[in-house]
Structures are given as structure tokens and as C-alpha cells.
Chain A
Amino acid sequence: MLSEKIPKRGWIPLYVLLVLGKIPTATKLQKLVFLIQTEGRVDGGYLFHKKHYGPYSEDLDVDVNAFSNSLHLMETQLVEGLSHQYYLYKPTNLGKETTNEILKTIPEDVKKRVDNIIGKYGEKNYQELLEYVYENYVINETTFDQLYLELSDDLFSLESIWKEWYKDDCPSTLFVLAMIDYQSKVLAKLRSIEEPVFRGVCVSSISELTAKLITLTSNCKSSKECPLSFKPLFYEVSDQINFLSNYCCKQGIIGDFFDVDFSDFLGEGELERLEKELAKTSPAELIY
């Protein structure tokens, strides 16, 4: 089957093309795929770096060429514009059939998120998209320093509140505190990352996650209920940390949130203390 020859990530450009019918300019296609992956929190997609026109993925470029020239899933037309030439992409009938086939394997919630992003940005022209992406996801050092301070303050306040609420038998408060700590560590690590797109994606993801955590905190504060009582919000938060964790892991910024490298959070002395404690105490002694 043709769908089996297509790289897993390939469904993203093919699907956006299927929904919109045509996409003028390579820049628009690149930015739409970038936004779908970033704001739609789609894992396993393309790797974007900063280039002249903002985040750009060479892999996406290669795939588009293969989809057009070898696999005949899309048509690429060179169009004479008013001031310059541009590419116009359209799906072929084979492309439509193949995309529909691949879509059967995409989870509904992921597809829904992608549809939202296409609905939000699909009608914008390449210049509008370029400006938006540049402003939000290509973060220079000065802007980063300012955002770093703001986000660090938010995370510090959240940490103080949740530390106070922390109960030693409550996994959800531990989960929230772990997310806060993880984000602080990501922020610290970003200081040494030079790629502005990596910084942009992480900072945007942390801003969104922090905003959701602030809402969760105020809900818990006013209702005095457990975070798990706010299931939809709690799931959104889990989804967001998953995205941040996968992204950071893929870009080598920090390890997976669910399998952290302990040296990122513990000093050698602390680890030694913990190991000593384990070696001399049986868990059985601690069940009371």
C-alpha cells in the first residue's frame, strides 16, 4: 500500500492540503505545518530550525518534493505572481485517497486539534503567518531574558502555593509540583540553547502550560477540591507537559519528563544520601 511508504510525519502536510484544497507558497505550507505541530501539540513531526523566513524544516521540504515528484500525491505548480514566482500545492486524487487511508490511523483527539489549527490559520496568507510565527516563535536573546524572568516568577509563585498544599499521599499534587520543577529546569537549560526556534517553541509551550496551571490553581483554591476534580483542565495540562517533554527530549534540551535524568534535579551528594537511606531501610518499615 502506498500509505505504508509515506513517513509517519507525512500525514501532516498531506492532511492540511486535503482540508484546504490548495496552498499557495512554500512559506505558508511550512508555517502551517509548524503551527499544527506546535500549537496543535502533534508529536513525531518535523524538526524546524530558524532560517530566513522563520522556522523551516528541510525534512518537510524533502517530503514535499517526494510527494510531488515520486509519489504523485500532490501537484506543485510554479505560478507567476505580481512581484515574484511562487509554488502552488494541490492534492492529486491519489493524494486524497492515500491521505484518507492514513487518517484512519490518526487518533480523533489529535485530528481535532489539527482541525482547530487549520481553522484558525488556514485562511491567512503567507505574510500574516510569517509575521505571527516570527513574533511568537523566533525569540532573540533579549526577548528570551525578559520572558525568562516573567515565567520564572510565575513558576516560583506556583511552586510556593502547591508546596503548601502538598500531601504525601496525593499523586496529583506531586504531579503538579513535578511539572513546575521540570519547566523551571527547561527554562534554565534554554539559556544555553542558541537555536531561537527551539527557545520559541519551549517558551510558548511553558507559557501555555503555566497559564493552565494558574487556572487550575485558582480553581483548586476557590473550591478547595483536588486537582483531579477538574478533569478536562487536568487532561489539557497532562497533554501540554507531554508535548513539552517530547519536544525537549527530541531536541536534546532535557530528558523525558516521565524518565528524567536524576542529575538534572539532584546533586551527587543528594543522590548518595537517598541511596544510603534505601540501603538501610526496608519499605516495609515505612508503612505506618
Chain B
Amino acid sequence: METSACVTYSFRANYKNKGKKRVFVPLGNEIVSEFIGLCKQKKVKLCVTKTVKDEAFDNLLKIVNRYFDRAKIFAPPVRQNIYLKIRKRLKELIKYTGNLDVTSNIKEIEKFYKRSAHLKKLVALKQKKSRKSLMPSSKDMKILSEAVELNKTSTVCVISGDGDFLDFKVEIKKEFDLIVVDIMDLRRFAKNLL
């Protein structure tokens, strides 16, 4: 599971409004939750690397804040409540998946992205993500290199919602024989796989 899949799964929080129980469910959460449930049931191994775990924890609060900022709501006690619940859910996920410390070679991933054929897609991603660099973050490249490394000993599918992986899924498959699955395609993927 890549960072975006981990945070999409974790972003679910029960809360009370006027004493009634309700639940926050962002787009994609049901799909990832369902998939993880199915994997648990069918004993399909889910794996999270240490890099993914660290990136997921580092980003949780930022994401909560972005939702609230977009909705133009401050309410710190509510932000904090949602953040704590999501963090707990992420901890539970990592407890289940473990977090592998993988030694990998990031250089080959850098080379892969630097290919001139990939320039157009990278420019589009740079604009979409409003980032300074043309290249994906070093953490994302490290995550991909870890998946490539793990794929050498067993078949690995990367579950992601990140354009840096999804927009290159055909090229990644061709170059590294590694399957990248879009979070939103997980239902179809699960049908074929399980």
C-alpha cells in the first residue's frame, strides 16, 4: 500500500452531532476499506514500508487541515478530534500490515522519471500538484524503488491514488514489471484477483 492508499483508508471518523452518531467518509474510503477487509478475509498479504508509514503519519494533520480550510471552517476542537481518530485508525492499519524497512536503489527510479518521454506527464503533474519540482518527491521515488525491490522476490501490486504512480502505470509495468492499481479501480481489481 502506498501512502495515499493508507491515508484514504485511515480517513474515516465516527463523531457525534446533537448526540447522534455519524461518520465522516471521504471519497474513496469505502473502496479501500472494503478491499482491506477482503484481503484480511482471504489472507492476502498487505504490506506497508517504513517510508510509507512515516509519510502517512507526517501528512495526516495537513490533510485534515486542508479539508477544513477548503470548507472555510476553523473549529480547532473538531479538527483535533478528527485528526486523533484518523491517526488511531492509521496506527491500527500499520499494526496489521507491519512496516518493512526495505533497502532499495532510488537511482534507477530517478533515471526512469528523467526520461524525456515522461516530460509531458511530469509537467502536467507539476501543475496539478502545484509543486516546485518537476520530479516526484524523493520519498515517492523511494517508495517506488522499495516496491520494485519487493517485487523481485514476490509479486507485488502497488495500491495508490497518487498521480506520480498512476499516470505512469503502463510505463512502470513495462520497465519494472510492477503493477500499480488505482484506489478507484480496487473493486474491479479485487474481483479479478480474489
Contact = CB atoms under 8 A, between A and B. Distances in A.
Interface of A: 168-171, 174-175, 177-178, 180-182, 185, 255, 257-266, 270-271, 273-288
Contacts of B4: 282-284, 287
Contact of B62 (A168, A266, A274): A168
B5 interface: yes
A171 B57 CA distance: 11
A261 B183 contact: no
Interface stretch (B69-77, B105-113, B149-157, B170-178): B69-77
A275 B77 contact: no
Interface of B: 3-5, 7-8, 10-11, 15-19, 24-29, 55, 58-59, 61-63, 65-73, 75-81, 83-84, 129-131, 160-162, 183-184
Contacts of A279: 25-27
A96 to B, nearest CB: 42
Main secondary structure of the interface of A (DSSP, over half): helix
Contacts of A263: 16-18
Contacts of B19: 261
A137 B130 CA distance: 55
B67 A262 contact: no
Given A182-B77, A274-B67, A284-B183, 13 more contacts: A168-B62, A171-B61, A174-B61, A178-B79, A261-B16, A262-B81, A278-B25, A282-B4, A283-B26, A283-B63, A286-B67, A287-B3, A287-B162
List of 5 A-B pairs having minimum Cβ-Cβ separation, nearest first: A284-B161, A284-B4, A177-B76, A282-B28, A178-B76
A275 B58 CA distance: 23
Nearest to A278: B26
Contacts of A175: 80
Contacts of A271: 17
A92 to B, nearest CB: 46
Contacts of B79: 174, 178
Contacts of B81: 258-260, 262
Contact of A262 (B72, B78, B129, B161): B78
Contact of B162 (A169, A177, A281, A284): A284
Contacts of B83: 171, 174
A283 B129 CA distance: 13
8 contacts: A174-B79, A257-B77, A266-B75, A271-B17, A281-B67, A283-B11, A284-B5, A288-B131
Contact of A169 (B62, B129, B160, B184): B62
A266 B72 CA distance: 11
B77 A286 contact: no
Contacts of A260: 16, 77-78, 81
A167 to B, nearest CB: 9
A41 B74 CA distance: 30
A287 B11 CA distance: 13
B72 A261 contact: no
A180 B77 CA distance: 9
Contacts of A286: 62-63, 66-67
A146 to B, nearest CB: 26
Given A263-B18, A283-B8, A283-B28, A168 B183 contact: no
A284 B58 contact: no
Given A278-B25, A288-B129, A266 B78 contact: yes
Contacts of B24: 274-275, 278
Contacts of A178: 76-77, 79-80
